[in-house]
Amino acid sequence: MEMDVISVLIVDDELPIREELRLFDWENNGAKLIGEAENGEEALQFCKEYTPNVIITDIVMPVMGGIELIDNIRKVYPQIQFIILTCYSDFNYAKEALRLGALDYLMKVTLDDDELSESLEKAKYEIECEQSYQIAEAEQRRLQRSRLFYQAVKLHSNQWSAFYKQLSIEGHQLTFPFRLVRIFVQAQSRGKLLISQEIQRSLIKLEKDTSISFLWFPYQICDYCLLFFDEPDDVKLICKRLHIVVSEINSTLERQLPYIYGDCRIYGVVSNSIVEEEDFADTVRQTDLWADVGFYDEKTLVFVGQPPSFTYLDQPKQKEIDEKMYKVGWDRQGLITFLSEDFVIWANNYRIFPEDLKRLVTRWRKEWQQNWNFNEDYTGEIKRLKDVTTLSQMVELLKSDLENGGGEKCRKEIRFAKKFIREKFGETLSLQMVADWVNLSPYYLSRLFHKEVGESFNKFVKNVRIEKAIEFLQNSDLKVYEIADKVGIPNYRYFVSLFRKETGLTPSAFRKGVNNK
């Protein structure tokens, strides 16, 4: 883990020394001077508001000297690194400071920029090592929590005492009553890995925020448990803080992964109050029932208490909606109206389990295909249909199929162009080449493509190539430069840059995440 900039506090009672250090080129040495203090007492007060990475301090000062400062700081902020400023007469003090954990010492009378640069490099290295160690330790604790929690819930083993003990080891006492918090993530399969990685980064960052005291750990794929230790049974306070957490996650995903953010749904759930240990497993299983609520409710960020009921698609319900669909006949505009109105009302009324609903509309989609044979990318459309995360996505995809499946509303030239691009993505593709293939002028194809597909020709080609690159990274052992060549972007540097821009990760990092999943 490499730091960008380290923050520095100078502590010295001599103004000329502080003035001399101000002139140092901090920026080009990867550092930022964030404050000054004339003695250890002032430095302690400063650290209560701003915690520097490094303190450069004199040894002998009025009120509180450097040795006492180091001793006091180490008790509260053990991660801060110290660089000592000393005179020859203070050498014994310098040795004592080094014994207390100071990183380095510099002689005031011979102080030069190179020595200070070298000391800052040492400090940066130590800080990075400590941060890496802390991250690894935190990850180990998180995995241990996850393992014990899973065993207690899923395997019905007597692991709650082990789970509580693990929390106690980490310095947290779980007392009854309290409420469990879950964060559910509904995402299309192609984006789950990237979204999961970004969410975990967000949770790690938020967990360090002292204004929101909570622990988190993964429970299942794209499913996270949180424990709030500040007023653990205050449902209003928990909802307020969970809303902040979920909002921050959504903002981060929208900023970091705009390429796939629109296809995912993230929301939080606060359980009923858990009064005693015997309630724990049942309450966890009860919160499982919230896993599908985001399919229907697309705006609420935080849910509380008893989950809504869902129903299976039994014969009477299926007959009811089939009759309405078949009554429309094979009129496409009529089917579009049916999907927007009767189908949405029916689905929301019964709250059919999403998987049952997907099987139903997949059957319809196959029947439409047989009747009209209107989409060359039929297999891809079915896959996307099974991968939708909300009811509105499902309806819009079906409506798009009906609108763009042929006839006057969908020019066959555009269908042929899309098919040509998907088949020839690994070759050099130009607007002129595709325009020649479909017998249109480049200018007219460009306008028509944007109008009917909803994005530019170049954007569509780029998206197809990125999708194919993701497939190669997930399903092959090809080297990154080989994949770049296969998807029609032989410039390796440009490919890596484009992939990172569109997905938030380099190809190598993406593949590493797939392999470690």
On whether both 178 and 299 belong to a single domain, the answer is: yes
On whether both 206 and 106 belong to a single domain, the answer is: no
On whether both 445 and 508 belong to a single domain, the answer is: yes
Query: Is the C-alpha dihedral spanning 226, 231, 235, 238 positive or negative?
Result: negative
On whether both 104 and 185 belong to a single domain, the answer is: no
Concatenating the DSSP letter of every residue in 277-299 gives: GGGHHHHHHHHHTTTTHHHH--S
- State CA 31 to chain mean position distance: 28
Residue 182 belongs to domain with CATH number: 3.30.70.1230
On whether both 390 and 417 belong to a single domain, the answer is: no
Could you list the pLDDT tens digit for every one of the 517 residues in the chain?
455 789 999 999 999 898 899 999 999 898 999 999 999 999 999 998 888 999 999 888 899 988 899 888 888 888 899 998 887 666 677 677 777 778 888 888 777 888 899 889 988 888 888 887 777 888 888 888 888 888 888 776 567 888 888 888 888 888 889 899 999 998 877 778 888 888 998 998 888 776 778 889 999 888 999 998 878 889 999 999 999 999 999 999 888 888 777 778 899 999 999 888 878 888 888 899 898 999 999 889 999 988 888 999 999 999 999 999 988 887 888 899 999 999 999 999 999 999 999 999 999 988 887 777 665 556 667 778 888 889 998 998 888 888 776 444 456 788 788 888 988 999 988 889 998 888 888 878 888 888 777 778 888 899 899 989 998 888 888 999 999 999 999 888 889 988 988 888 888 888 877 665 5
Domain that holds residue 105: 6-132
Residue 102 belongs to domain with CATH number: 3.40.50.2300
Domain count, the chain: 4
Return all residues near 54 (Cβ < 8 A) that are at least 6 apart.
6, 7, 8, 9, 31, 80, 81, 82, 83, 120, 123, 127
Which of 385, 404, 423 is where one domain is finished?
404
Does residue 309 sit within a domain?
no
Does residue 247 sit within a domain?
yes
On whether both 421 and 510 belong to a single domain, the answer is: yes
On whether both 240 and 287 belong to a single domain, the answer is: yes
* pLDDT at residue 88 in the model: 62
Does residue 168 sit within a domain?
no
Q: Give the Cα separation of 470 and 483 in Å (integer).
A: 9
Return all residues near 112 (Cβ < 8 A) that are at least 6 apart.
none
Does residue 240 sit within a domain?
yes
Which of 244, 278, 304 is where one domain is finished?
304
Does residue 137 sit within a domain?
no
Q: Give the Cα separation of 222 and 28 in Å (integer).
A: 41
On whether both 422 and 369 belong to a single domain, the answer is: no
Which of 273, 304, 335 is where one domain is finished?
304
Does residue 164 sit within a domain?
no
Q: Is 166 helix (H, G, I), strand (E, B) or coil?
A: helix
Q: Give the count of beta carbons closer than 10 Å to the beta carbon of residue 401.
A: 23
Q: Which residue from 52, 103, 102, 100 is spatially nearest to 77, judged by alpha carbons?
A: 52
pTM of the predicted model, to two decimals? 0.60
Q: Is 461 helix (H, G, I), strand (E, B) or coil?
A: helix
On whether both 350 and 469 belong to a single domain, the answer is: no
On whether both 397 and 423 belong to a single domain, the answer is: no
Does residue 331 sit within a domain?
yes
b/e burial code for range 259-297 (CB count within 10 A of at least 16 → b): ebbebbbbbbbbbbbbeeeebbeebbebbbebbbbbbbb
Q: Give the Cα separation of 50 and 114 in Å (integer).
A: 27
Classify burial at 57, counting beta carbons within 10 Å of its beta carbon; exposed 0-12, middle 13-18, buried 19 or more: buried
* pLDDT at residue 407 in the model: 41
On whether both 19 and 102 belong to a single domain, the answer is: yes
On whether both 181 and 276 belong to a single domain, the answer is: yes
Residue 442 belongs to domain with CATH number: 1.10.10.60
Does residue 145 sit within a domain?
no
